[in-house]
Structures are given as structure tokens and as C-alpha cells.
Chain A
Amino acid sequence: MRTDKTRVRVLLAALAALALTLGVAACGSSDDSTTSGSTESGGEAGAIQSNPDNGKVSLTIGSKNFPEQEILGEIYAQALTAAGYKVKSALNLGSETVAQKAVKSGQISGYPEYASTALTSFFGLEPEEVPADATEAWEKANEEFEKEGLQAFEPTPFASANAVGTTTETAEKYDLKTVSDLEGVSEKLSLYGSPECRQRIDCLAGLEKLYGLKFKSFTPVDIGLRYTVLEKGQADLSILFTTDPQLSAESDKFVILEDDKKVFPAGNVIFVTTQKVAEEAGPDYEETILQVQEGLDLKVVQELDARVELEKETPRQAATAYLESAGYIGS
């Protein structure tokens, strides 16, 4: 028979278990990594040197809350830690507007943004006005950021852009290498994309207007299903991202068509921060970030995305793997 004493003990045990679970969950999600001090500044070429002066500066690196962004955030955070800064990460910002607010209010020191997103979302450019050249796009964005006390560092080698993708069978059947090759063929093919794609000039509306293509049908689906609908044979064509891990991990199944008429604006990543933070943090802040993103070309980013999205590694692990194999930090 359960006595009152036993009941109290059971209740206390349950509360303790609950508290423990919540504690573990909180630790897991907020990702507080506070480290300071130097790391192995070995003699490898390209290794990040730790500077003891940086130990006085605390930085919070943010990112949006999807894998590619989280990996970038982790890369920057770990690199800056190696350079001797006190670094915390906040890799959970919901959208570019949330991220902007966080930077401006000082909640985070900076975060990686896509140049095309900054130009269209913050500065009101029409998608067709976004420069196709990475440096031009960065300069244009930086001009606008500086008016608001912000600053954007130079762009990464890779760009994340939408792309028309299909299975290798379909591409071979109709001999498709570029989007223009769809002329005369697209009427027989169904296109699947995100719900907003239908009306966007940098998506279906642009494909119809700038390439003059008419598709058999367009069906809106959640972005997460973009490969599923191709695999299931429901979609002939699907809107994919150039940095998708499936493109490297399953390159015999899926292929993207080259956007020869430049409907999809390219998004190289630029690190956005405030001028104030940049000044206080010293030259190592920008230098470290630029140094560590040099190795990020499209193939590398696809592979990193694959590690996290397909092989279920954490963004932290993928970032460490990248930094070590590129020789930026010692292992």
C-alpha cells in the first residue's frame, strides 16, 4: 500500500527528473559556449592565431535557424574563439527581420546574411535589380547598411540560390542542361515549388516572363518536400537550392539546370555586424571571418550541409571538421 511518505518520495523524484530534463534541454538548445584563451596556434599555414588582447571582447554570433546558417554561425564562432575572443552563439533567429532587430539592438554582434535577401528584403530592391556579381551585390548592400550604423564584410565564394532541378532520367530524356533547354518541352512537365514561388519574379513568374516558359502545371509544396516530390515521380521539375546536400550526396539521382538568363538572384553570404562592435573588437574580428570563409566554395558547403541534414551530425561537429581539415584550427 502506498503510504503518504512513499507518495511524497515519488513526487519529489518525479519533480527532480523533470527539473533535470528541463535543465538538459535548456543546455542543449541555448548553445552557450563560453571559452576564452588561446588555442593551439601551431605553425600551419593559414591557422588562426590567438591574440590575447581579444580576450577582453565578448561576441555573440547569431544565425538563422536552419542547417546551412547554423553551420556558418558555428564556423565563425569557433574561428573567433580560436582567435582569442570570448564567444557565445545564438543560432536560432527565425527570419531576416528578426536577425536585423537582434543586431541593431545589440543582442547579437553579427550574423551571416545572404546579399540578395538583404537587398530585396531590407532595402526594397526588385529581385531583377539585384546584381548578379557577388562583389557588386556586396558593395550595394554595404552602402545601405552603413547608413544605419551597420557593416557587412566581404562575400563568401559560394552563393546560395534557387534552381530548377529534376531527376537525371528526366534531364537525359529531354536533353536538359540549362533552363533555356526547357523551351518547347516545359508544356509537358509539371513544376513544384514553395507556395510563394508562383508569383515571385525570381521564381515561377520570372521563368514565365524572362524565359517565356509555360509549364503543364504548378503545385505549391512545403520546401521540405522539394526532393520527395521528385523521388515519388509526382514532380517532373522542382525548385531546389544550389547548396542542397542531396546534390552532392545523391548526384546520380538529381541535377540542377543552369540559370543562363539569371532569373534567380545569387546569394553570397556577407557577415553583417554593427560598426560599433567592429571597432571595439579590433581588426582580428573582420580578418578572422574573411580568412575562415575563403575555403567555402559550393562543393564544400554542399558537403557540410550533407553532414548535418543527411548524416545527422550537429552543426558544431560539421564546423569543427571543416575548420580542422582546412587547417584553420589545430585538431
Chain B
Amino acid sequence: MNPLPLASFDGAIEFIFVPQSSNVTGGNKVGGFEKSLELLLKHLEVTALALAIALVIALPLGLYLGHRGKGELFAVGIGNAGRAIPELAVIALVAVLIGVGLKTVAPALAILGIAPILVNTFVGVRQVDPASVEAARGMGMSELDIIRKVELPLAVPTVMGGVRGAAIVIVATATIAPLAGVETLGDFILNRNVYGENGLLAGAILVALLALALEGLLALLQRRLTSDGLKVKTA
């Protein structure tokens, strides 16, 4: 029996940049820079779309509920339930209802992202000092203004924490998108027979790097969005 070749870090790096031969493709090469880039961009695309959908749904809802102080049970409940979602089952379910492709995978992944964003936004707004809110009301601000100018800026660190959490979960889970018609980096990981052990490791490395890059980007964004008054001043 051919011994199972163990993946090596060098082999994985080589796989990312140079097309390799595979023993099930009849001579066609697999992997390489073009393919890696193609899958990476697709992965990014579906992540961005899913995150956008999650934001559009969860952010306003979290802000409203947090501002009104209602629905704590609902928000926390969603947060807990969201952690337990079997994503593969969700994708399969949505595929049966809608079909496969980006229009299915993006909403299905967005569901995963809604929970962290909703909970963190709710909690972030609730934690704003009531005195600040009262003062703003006293100054004659409208409720919408209060949300925009007082509560949201003060809640930015917590809200962004939720957004970052959502982004990481979505990036990681977009790995299974090839099972529903969208070819992301998960293709390298799911198809061991085609891409081999090196391809599998390469896929994992690329997803991890993408996640780190996204996290870094969002951390920078958080910095920009946090008003100077809130940033901890080092002596």
C-alpha cells in the first residue's frame, strides 16, 4: 500500500504557489497560485456578503432593543441558540428550500453571524451610563440622536467585539460552502482525494491567514471608530 504521505509545511506552501500533480485527475495539475487566489477571493466574497447581511439585520435590532431596554431574554436567548447552530444542517435545509449557490450560502452563513452581533450590540448599549443618556435627553436630543451620538459611540468596543466574533465564525464556516455550490478555500480541505494532504494543509493555512487578516482589519477599524475620549491614554 502506498504509505499515506504526511503533509509537510513546505509541501503546503509549495502547493499554494505551484500546481501539483494528483493521482485522480488523469494528468491535470491541481493547486497553484491562480487557483489559490481564485478560491481565496470567493471565500472573501461570501464572507463579506454574509457579514453584511448579518449586520443589516442584527445591528439595528440590537440598537433598538438595547436603547429601549426591552427583550433581554430574547437577545440572550438568540445568543445562546446561535452558538449551537449545526451549520451543515442549516445549509442543507436552505439548499432544499431555495437551491444552491451564493444566494443560499450567504444567508445561511449570515444566520451564524447574527447571534454575536445582536447580543454584543444589545449589551453594549445597555451598559452605557444612564446618566449620559439622561443628560442627552435633557439637552433636547431626539431618541434617534441619542442612539447615534451617545449610545453607539460609547458602545463601539463591545459592538465591534461582536462584529469581530461574527466575522471569524463566518470565515471559518465558509469552508463548507463547496457543499452548496460556492467554491471557497474549503475546496482544498474537503477534497483530500484530489488535492492530497498538502492541499488540505494549504487550505487550512490559507483560511487561518484570512481569519487573522480579517481580525486585524476589524481591530484597526475599531480603533478608528472609537472616539479619542474612550481610548485608554498611556502615560
Contacts and interface: CB of A to CB of B under 8 A. Distances in A.
Interface of A: 97, 100, 120-124, 126-128, 144, 148, 192, 195-196, 199-202, 205-206, 209, 219-222, 224-225, 228-229, 232, 234
B193 A196 contact: yes
Nearest to B193: A196
Contacts of B178: 195, 220
A201 B24 contact: yes
Nearest to B2: A124
Contact of B24 (A127, A192, A221): A127
B22 interface: yes
B181 interface: yes
A114 B61 CA distance: 54
B4 A200 contact: no
Interface of B: 1-2, 4, 22-28, 30, 92, 95-96, 99-101, 178-181, 183, 187, 190-191, 193-194
Nearest to A127: B24
A225 B24 CA distance: 23
A200 B27 CA distance: 10
Contacts of A124: 2, 23
B1 A100 contact: yes
A202 B190 CA distance: 18
Contacts of A228: 95-96
- Among B4, B25, B27, B194, residue most surrounded by chain A Cβ atoms (within 10 Å): B25
A206 B24 CA distance: 10
Contacts of A232: 96, 99
B95 A225 contact: yes
A199 B25 contact: yes
Nearest to B189: A195
Contacts of B30: 199
Contacts of A225: 92, 95-96, 100, 179-180
A259 B92 CA distance: 29
A209 B99 contact: no
B110 to A, nearest CB: 20
Nearest to B99: A234
Contacts of B27: 201
A202 B24 CA distance: 7
Contact of B1 (A123, A195, A224, A229): A123
A234 B103 CA distance: 13
A229 B92 contact: no
A225 B1 CA distance: 33
A223 to B, nearest CB: 9
Contacts of B99: 229, 232, 234
Nearest to A225: B95
B96 A221 contact: no
